[in-house]
Amino acid sequence: MRKMRIGVIGIGNMGSAHALSLFKNEIAGAELTALCDAIPERLQWAKETFDESVQIFDHTEAFFASSSFDGIIIATPHYDHPELAIRAFELGLHVLCEKPAGVYTKQVRQMNEAAKASGKVFSMMYNQRTNPLYLKLKEMIDAGELGEIRRTNWIITNWFRPQSYYDSGTWRATWAGEGGGVLINQDPHQLDLWQWTTSMMPKRVRAACYFGKYRNIEVEDDVTAFVEYENGATGVFVTTTGEAPGTNRFEICGDLGKIVIEDGKLTFWRLHMSAPEFNRSFTGKFGQPEHTVIEIPIEGKESAHNGIIQNWVDAVIEGVPLLAPGEEGINGLMLSNAMLLSAWTDNWVDLPIDEDLFYEQLQARINESQSKKLISHETR
Amino acid sequence: MRKMRIGVIGIGNMGSAHALSLFKNEIAGAELTALCDAIPERLQWAKETFDESVQIFDHTEAFFASSSFDGIIIATPHYDHPELAIRAFELGLHVLCEKPAGVYTKQVRQMNEAAKASGKVFSMMYNQRTNPLYLKLKEMIDAGELGEIRRTNWIITNWFRPQSYYDSGTWRATWAGEGGGVLINQDPHQLDLWQWTTSMMPKRVRAACYFGKYRNIEVEDDVTAFVEYENGATGVFVTTTGEAPGTNRFEICGDLGKIVIEDGKLTFWRLHMSAPEFNRSFTGKFGQPEHTVIEIPIEGKESAHNGIIQNWVDAVIEGVPLLAPGEEGINGLMLSNAMLLSAWTDNWVDLPIDEDLFYEQLQARINESQSKKLISHETR
């Protein structure tokens, strides 16, 4: 059977790693056939690294015109993701897109529609979905082990980034270059896992976002968001790039107990009787359902980026189900957009958000952005 | 030297325990000389339990008229605390008041003014201030071990209360009887410790409070509050009586690291260089200050209620400093009032709060309260 031919567009940190994985045959059934980037140093690196089996392009037009691949991996700056994906779908190509799906949901919705119309295989690089901790969490929640979910709480503050990080690219942490800060750059995985593991999207969001609080940047580097779900449950999401050493603790409470993921461990406080049932039957004054604390054994390894690429290739070749369907990329982005919009309007934001209002508000900030140069032009 | 003579007003759960401690001479330098309650069963219990050295009153007037004590412990329902304390200060008595200081800050402010005018020794029953974990935390923060505080986060959800608890008194969890729910009844200690250990009061609060969400009650049983401090720090406080087994985890982050109190342990993530200093000097792209994780040894035992009574007595007799000055009772109550007011107005609430507005809003709820009988009349 012929191998799936893959082109990688954008060979910065992530794209170059994906290209190497493919080139080294780490992905069964796939081969790297083309690369595209606009930055001379990267092109030079590519010429020195790959052989003649890989075509190298410095322009998107020529890359797409080459017809040298069946699918592409998009690893360009965020803003370009939807546009490139739409182009690919129109050409009948499969797409694996780096996170985030895009910067604003309005555009990502168009990408999803193009994907659907094309019938091609569309996946998001949500490599954390291969993390056995979150796979197990989702499996347990799906199996009803927590019962109805009542509260979620994710403190994800271990994203310390020094000023030198932000200063390493003029596009970094600018409205024009990235379209956001910690939410769009560092948190996409958590924003995805938060709703993916629980199968619950909030119905409304209220967030406090602080812009350039810890660093000399124009976007948000500190966020606390409160959410309400359809079933009455509530949730909190706290994140920042200003704290050290920070915390990564995800707590989910349900009628049947509580799960906490922290320090690479998944701990389950399992009630022997559901809290509502205990409440109905208990006649004493003080009392609560008994529980057992269990550290759930976690089996398997995180297959990470290669795992997602392999899954995408297997979906194309063998029709296996996608672990991270591309259309789901809009969910985490919706949360991040809602948080910013809530802060900008100092108000509750209902989901789905008013996508035009968000776009308008974002555009106003892009127009005033200090970014010297739009990175989105660098890869064209 | 003559012992300090103490009268206890209100001998329900807490008052009866304090009376017994005094009667059994567990408090050096103090003696129980009088009790007051209006409930026949309690008076009967008192007659059977104490001897003739303890005068028993069924009415406040007679109790105060007896002049048989130098100070009183107030353990009546919440609403009566300030009124009784003010009466006592006017009579030149020392006061130790059970938490909460009262139900609304307007009245508590009057109590504080009366205390100041009297020159008498006024303490609050903040027995959790004797908990070595929080004493150590305060000591570390006061000593600057965390540097400037940047974030606080208290998840205090291990207050599971079944419906049978709420049904055990017609006054329970009613606006007229208690003036609130989990914030006024279960959380006063945490609301006190939150600001006492950090020496920081928020400057504004935004909270979502849910009334009768988990139980058939009219007051709040689920709260998530977000706060901003003067120095730019933020905080989150999450509490409910509906969850089992719940969580009690207090995290405080500063420029020099992080402290978490959970499961009876105090853990310190100590940075080797402050985060701002690292940020200023680091020139690489990715990097963060090194840290050491230390479980801080906790010495001493929680002297609890007796510890606070002893401290109050020692303050009266020997002039030792109070661990829980009565005037500080308004701080935790201010936070709880602010959270309710924020939920009622669906808006930010600046601190100090608009006390008249809070009182007005509370009064409106009292007027519509389902409470059959005001407990405040039961002890008069």
Nearest to A245 among B161, B242, B258 (CB): B258
pLDDT band, very low/low/confident/very high, at A369 (cuts 50, 70, 90): confident
Q: 3-state DSSP call for residue B323?
A: coil
Tell if the CB–CB gap between B279 and A162 is shorter than 8 Å: yes
pLDDT band, very low/low/confident/very high, at A377 (cuts 50, 70, 90): very low
Interface test with B, best of A150, A227, A259 (most B CBs within 10 A): A150
Residue A34 pairs in a beta bridge with: A7, A55
Reading the block at residue A127, the tokens are 């490599």
For residues B159 and B173, give the distance between their C-alpha atoms in angstroms, rounded to a whole number.
14
Per-residue confidence (pLDDT) for residue B377, from 0 to 100: 38
pLDDT band, very low/low/confident/very high, at A376 (cuts 50, 70, 90): very low
For residues A356 and A121, give the distance between their C-alpha atoms in angstroms, rounded to a whole number.
28
Q: 3-state DSSP call for residue A12?
A: coil
Distance from the B283 Cα atom to the nearest Cα atom in chain A, whole angstroms: 5
Q: 10 Å Cβ neighbour count for A278? A: 19
Tell if the CB–CB gap between B244 and A151 is shorter than 8 Å: no
For residues A132 and B307, give the distance between their C-alpha atoms in angstroms, rounded to a whole number.
48
Write out pLDDT tens, residues B114-173.
999 999 999 999 999 999 999 999 999 999 999 999 999 999 999 999 999 999 988 999
Listed in sequence order, the residues at least 6 apart from A229 whose beta carbon sits closer than 8 Å to its beta carbon are A149, A200, A201, A202, A203, A235
With the C-alpha atoms ordered A126, A130, A134, A140, is the resulting torsion angle positive or negative?
Answer: positive
Distance of CA A300 to the CA centre of its chain: 22
Tell if the CB–CB gap between A224 and B236 is shorter than 8 Å: yes
State which residue of chain B sits closest to A243, comparing Cα positions. Answer: B275
Q: Which CATH architecture has domain B4-128+306-325?
A: 3-Layer(aba) Sandwich (3.40)
Interface test with B, best of A148, A153, A292 (most B CBs within 10 A): A153
What DSSP state is assigned to residue A244?
S
- Which option is the CATH number for A129-298+332-368: 3.20.20.70, 3.40.50.800, 3.30.360.10, 3.40.50.1010? 3.30.360.10
pLDDT at A374 over 50: no
User: In terms of C-beta density within 10 A (0-12 exposed, 13-18 middle, 19 or more buried), how is residue B52 classed?
Assistant: exposed
Write out pLDDT tens, residues A173-223.
999 999 999 999 999 999 999 999 999 999 999 999 999 999 999 999 999
Write out pLDDT tens, residues B46-104.
999 999 999 999 999 999 999 999 999 999 999 999 999 999 999 999 999 999 999 99
State which residue of chain A sits closest to B163, comparing Cα positions. Answer: A279
Reading the block at residue B293, the tokens are 């994780």
Counting one residue from chain A and one from chain B, the pairs whose CB atoms sit within 8 A come to 136
Cis (ω within 30 of 0) for the bond into A352?
A: yes
Per-residue confidence (pLDDT) for residue B1, from 0 to 100: 65
Q: In this structure, are residues A153 and A236 in contact, taking their beta carbons and an 8 Å threshold?
A: yes
For residues B194 and A300, give the distance between their C-alpha atoms in angstroms, rounded to a whole number.
41
Distance from the A276 Cα atom to the nearest Cα atom in chain B, whole angstroms: 8
pLDDT at A158 over 60: yes
Name the percent of chain A lying above pLDDT 90.
96
Write out pLDDT tens, residues B215-262.
999 999 999 999 999 999 999 999 999 999 999 999 999 999 999 999
Residue B257 pairs in a beta bridge with: B254, B270
pLDDT band, very low/low/confident/very high, at A1 (cuts 50, 70, 90): low
For residues A54 and B114, give the distance between their C-alpha atoms in angstroms, rounded to a whole number.
85
User: In terms of C-beta density within 10 A (0-12 exposed, 13-18 middle, 19 or more buried), how is residue B167 classed?
Assistant: middle
Q: Delimit the domains of chain A by residue range.
A: 4-128+306-325, 129-298+332-368
Q: In this structure, are residues B83 and B10 in contact, taking their beta carbons and an 8 Å threshold?
A: no
pLDDT at B297 over 70: yes
Across B303-321, average pLDDT:
98
Reading the block at residue A231, the tokens are 């079933």
- What ipTM was assigned to the predicted interfaces of this complex? 0.95
Per-residue confidence (pLDDT) for residue A371, from 0 to 100: 66
Write out pLDDT tens, residues A31-44.
999 999 999 999 99
With the C-alpha atoms ordered B75, B79, B80, B81, is the resulting torsion angle positive or negative?
Answer: positive
What DSSP state is assigned to residue B33?
E
Phi, psi of B295 (to 5 degrees): -90, 110
Per-residue confidence (pLDDT) for residue B371, from 0 to 100: 67
Q: 10 Å Cβ neighbour count for A67? A: 12
Write out pLDDT tens, residues A53-107.
999 999 999 999 999 999 999 999 999 999 999 999 999 999 999 999 999 999 9
For residues B54 and B131, give the distance between their C-alpha atoms in angstroms, rounded to a whole number.
31
Tell if the CB–CB gap between A242 and B163 is shorter than 8 Å: no
User: In terms of C-beta density within 10 A (0-12 exposed, 13-18 middle, 19 or more buried), how is residue A263 classed?
Assistant: exposed
Distance from the B158 Cα atom to the nearest Cα atom in chain A, whole angstroms: 10
pLDDT band, very low/low/confident/very high, at B375 (cuts 50, 70, 90): very low
Only one residue has tokens 């052989």, namely: A51
